[in-house]
Structure 1
Amino acid sequence: MPEQAGETTLDTFDGLIDWSRLNDWMTTKTLPGSGPATGVRKLSGGLQNAIFLIERGSDRMVLRRPSRNGKPKGNETMLREARILTALEGSTVPHPQLYAACDDESIIGAAFYLMAPLEGIAKSGALEGDYATDPTWRRAMGEELVTAAVAMASLDYEAAGLGDLGKPDNWHARQVERWRSQLEGYATAMPAYNPNDLPHFAEIGRWLSDNIPTDQRIGIVHGDFQFPNVMFSLKAPKISGVLDWELASLGDPLLDLGWVLSSWWEEGDPEGKGPMVQPWDGFLSRADLIDLYGALSGRDMACIPWYFALACYKLSCLLEGTTAAWKAGKVPDKVGESVHAYASWLTAKARQVIAY
């Protein structure tokens, strides 16, 4: 049932927000607006998070908390994201401003944080505004993605207090075993799944192990750097902010560029996947993205096939978790078939990459 928030009755979204406790907590923090919340709207945000746009008079904030059926460590993830946003303050990485975080689960039943709302769109599918009509705006989207990736790569993670965000030692050499063992683990948990049903995976893993780059760097890796996790302004062709830092860790930042390349589309790609956003004309080529990253970062880009292939290898493994759940009868056929088809496309693309 909705609860009373001041003079306005607001939806609790079946208990995801306790307005009485949240309003009391907000009065103890330096936040936009004053008094109790006056409005709320649930935003789209995937399966793991529940995201709300909260109004306090004329001011607005975004509240992020774990969803009701999210991962077991959802509270830790929320606080980790908040910590990363705090560390990004003052950097050149476009990101939403963090207002406050709460680790007291008694307030709304989970850890949460409040951040500034961002203007623009973060999506796949049909583009909006000038991105839909002006090819120069679409070209700028690729340039902005690369610029943001370089900004993330240049962040001094030690100075930002993020030196314990991951395990950087021997990171490159550990990648193949890390994801191969996860793929095989699906079969242990769900015997109906056969890892050999993912084509070319073992072949790609052998190539990655045999071609580990000598130019190795460690920095912040976003972990899922692609269109749905980046807000593009509708007022100008630029990024308003990078979202969804829950998978961020330490690793070689070139993996973020590899992730972008894996989400891209060009003539000659394997059959079975189209552009992530439409229309696609005007976008930079993969070669243009790579050249721009090298020009902005000063890094030798000769090793980029390794990171491109690794991105495909890793993402295909992650997607196969859904395939395994489908084989176990836990996911609808339409979803399982679609996800497995995309994972298979990724390994087919990686095979193309390592063939050159």
Structure 2
Amino acid sequence: MAEQKNSGTPQAPGALDTGALSRWMDREGLPGTGETAEVRPLSGGSQNELYEIRRGGTALALRRPGRDSPAQAKVLAREARLLRALADTDVPHARLRGGTDDPDVLGRPFYVMDLVDGWSPMQGGWAAPFDTDLDARAGLAFQLVDGAARMAHVDWKAAGLEDFGRPEGFLDRQVDRWLSHLSGFRFRELPGLDEAASWLRAHQPASFRPGIMHGDYQFANVMFRHGAPAELAAIIDWEMATVGDPLLDLGWVLVSWPPEGDDMTDSRYLDYTGLPPRESLLEHYARVSGLDTSAIDYYVVLARFKLAIVLEASVARYAKGEADDRVSRFGPMVVELMRKAAELARTTTLR
């Protein structure tokens, strides 16, 4: 749900039938019975459409797949299921209000959730006062890690997610799965690839405690409450969520964290000045999640390895003329991520 980062110029998705939407909202018992919903498109992702819905004094968000993205309907159905499962947990998220897979309502499946009142670091960097108050900024990092720890602590079976992922053998599959994915579009050499892959195979943790994992957990995919002190308002963009090893989310957070990641200039999109050392974050995560973080370097190497390959798929499309110029910036990021994966594998004390 990255599309809830709604500052800037709205996108122009297909028009919604406000009459049909309002009748559906009446049937679902949503606020403003009998009123016609006010609808405004919000900016966001390219494969999904997001709208702000106002009715009965309540602000909601409606999300549906784009007209040319039928496969996204299944992804959005998974998102809605996950949001429903999180309802009685302490994981910050946008509360699900309802949804339908009936295309007769609005032409495509959709779901409705609360509209998050907050700000995203992707709206131009740190918002005030975090842009100048470094003590307050440090709190953002602890809140980010706190969200990941709360996810990891959820009883996913009790939440109805027993068949949401395939946690058994999750780590066993990672290296081969992503190398196989890369083989389908590989067009250049990636220094460090083989070294990182070999190290990951040799240093895979013997076991892990399965839990909910976001799959792309970072500052780009959360929203914070306005003003200090820092408070996580919602985790967003659940498209890659599954049940697996939640420590990979923590590794994702630390992909370019100081000081080890200070030379990563291409992969950073925020100023890390004032953010706490990773040891402090690991202590907080372990305390909230109950998980052992002593093998965190494995997860940072895996996160860099995986993210590099995910981004390389877009770079390959760009190289073939099948993606626009915005994708070109991923090229050096991929090289940097794979280089740093191999470098950490080479220098870590994890044995």
Aligned match of 1:8:
none
Moved more, 42-51 or 94-103: 42-51
Aligned match of 2:22:
23
Distance in 2 separating the partners of 1:183 and 1:16: 38
Residue 328 of structure 1 aligns to which amino acid in structure 2? K
Distance in 2 separating the partners of 1:335 and 1:202: 28
Three-state SS of the structure 1 residue aligned to 2:155 is coil
**Where in structure 2 are the equivalents of 1:152-231 lying within 5 Å?**
152-187=151-186, 194=187, 196-231=188-223
Return 5+ residue gaps in structure 1 as ranges. 1-10, 188-193
TM-fit CA distance, 1:57: 4.4
For each residue in 1:295-342, what CA deviation from the matched residue of structure 2 results, as whole angstroms up to 9, or x when unmatched? 33343222111111111111111111111101111123x434311211
Aligned match of 2:131:
132
Distance in 2 separating the partners of 1:244 and 1:352: 30
The total of aligned residue pairs comes to 336
Distance in 2 separating the partners of 1:331 and 1:12: 19
Three-state SS of the structure 2 residue aligned to 1:322 is helix
Distance in 1 separating the partners of 2:264 and 2:165: 36
Of the three residues 105, 114, 120, the one matched with 1:122 is: 120
Query: Are 1:294 and 1:301, in contact at CA under 8 Å, matched by a contact in 2?
Result: yes
Q: CA separation of 1:352/1:15 partners in 2, compared to 1, >3 Å: closer, same or farther?
A: same
Aligned match of 1:294:
286
**Where in structure 2 are the equivalents of 1:259-298 lying within 5 Å?**
259-266=252-259, 269-273=262-266, 275-278=268-271, 280-298=272-290
Residue 283 of structure 2 aligns to which amino acid in structure 1? D
Query: Are 2:18 and 2:38, in contact at CA under 8 Å, matched by a contact in 1?
Result: no
Query: Are 2:59 and 2:115, in contact at CA under 8 Å, matched by a contact in 1?
Result: yes
TM-fit CA distance, 1:175: 0.5
Over the residues paired in the alignment, what is the CA RMSD in angstroms? 2.1
| Identical-pair percentage | 38
Aligned match of 1:342:
333
Query: Are 1:122 and 1:231, in contact at CA under 8 Å, matched by a contact in 2?
Result: yes
Residue 120 of structure 1 aligns to which amino acid in structure 2? G
Distance in 1 separating the partners of 2:143 and 2:267: 21
For each residue in 1:241-293, what CA deviation from the matched residue of structure 2 results, as whole angstroms up to 9, or x when unmatched? 11111110011000000110115354663343364224x32211223222322
Question: TM-score, normalized by length of structure 2?
Answer: 0.89
TM-fit CA distance, 1:213: 0.6
Q: CA separation of 1:151/1:25 partners in 2, compared to 1, >3 Å: closer, same or farther?
A: same
For each residue in 1:201-239, what CA deviation from the matched residue of structure 2 results, as whole angstroms up to 9, or x when unmatched? 121111101111124121111011111210100144100
Three-state SS of the structure 2 residue aligned to 1:312 is helix
Aligned match of 1:101:
99
TM-fit CA distance, 1:97: 0.8
Three-state SS of the structure 2 residue aligned to 1:65 is strand
Distance in 2 separating the partners of 1:14 and 1:204: 42
Distance in 2 separating the partners of 1:59 and 1:288: 39
Matched, 1:312 2:304: yes
Aligned match of 2:86:
88
For each residue in 1:28-59, what CA deviation from the matched residue of structure 2 results, as whole angstroms up to 9, or x when unmatched? 01212233444322222222221111111422
Query: Are 1:265 and 1:274, in contact at CA under 8 Å, matched by a contact in 2?
Result: no
Query: Are 2:267 and 2:333, in contact at CA under 8 Å, matched by a contact in 1?
Result: no
Aligned match of 1:3:
none
Distance in 2 separating the partners of 1:296 and 1:12: 38
Matched, 1:79 2:77: yes
Query: Are 2:18 and 2:39, in contact at CA under 8 Å, matched by a contact in 1?
Result: no
**Where in structure 2 are the equivalents of 1:142-153 lying within 5 Å?**
142-153=141-152
Distance in 1 separating the partners of 2:254 and 2:66: 30
Question: TM-score, normalized by length of structure 1?
Answer: 0.88
Query: Are 2:120 and 2:223, in contact at CA under 8 Å, matched by a contact in 1?
Result: yes
Of the three residues 309, 318, 321, the one matched with 1:326 is: 318
Distance in 2 separating the partners of 1:48 and 1:94: 24
Return 5+ residue gaps in structure 2 as ranges. 1-9
Query: Are 1:232 and 1:239, in contact at CA under 8 Å, matched by a contact in 2?
Result: yes
Distance in 1 separating the partners of 2:98 and 2:60: 10
Q: CA separation of 1:14/1:299 partners in 2, compared to 1, >3 Å: closer, same or farther?
A: closer
Distance in 2 separating the partners of 1:163 and 1:145: 26
Distance in 2 separating the partners of 1:267 and 1:294: 20
Aligned match of 1:258:
251
TM-fit CA distance, 1:14: 5.6
Moved more, 282-291 or 342-351: 282-291
Of the three residues 237, 240, 246, the one matched with 1:247 is: 240
Distance in 2 separating the partners of 1:298 and 1:155: 11
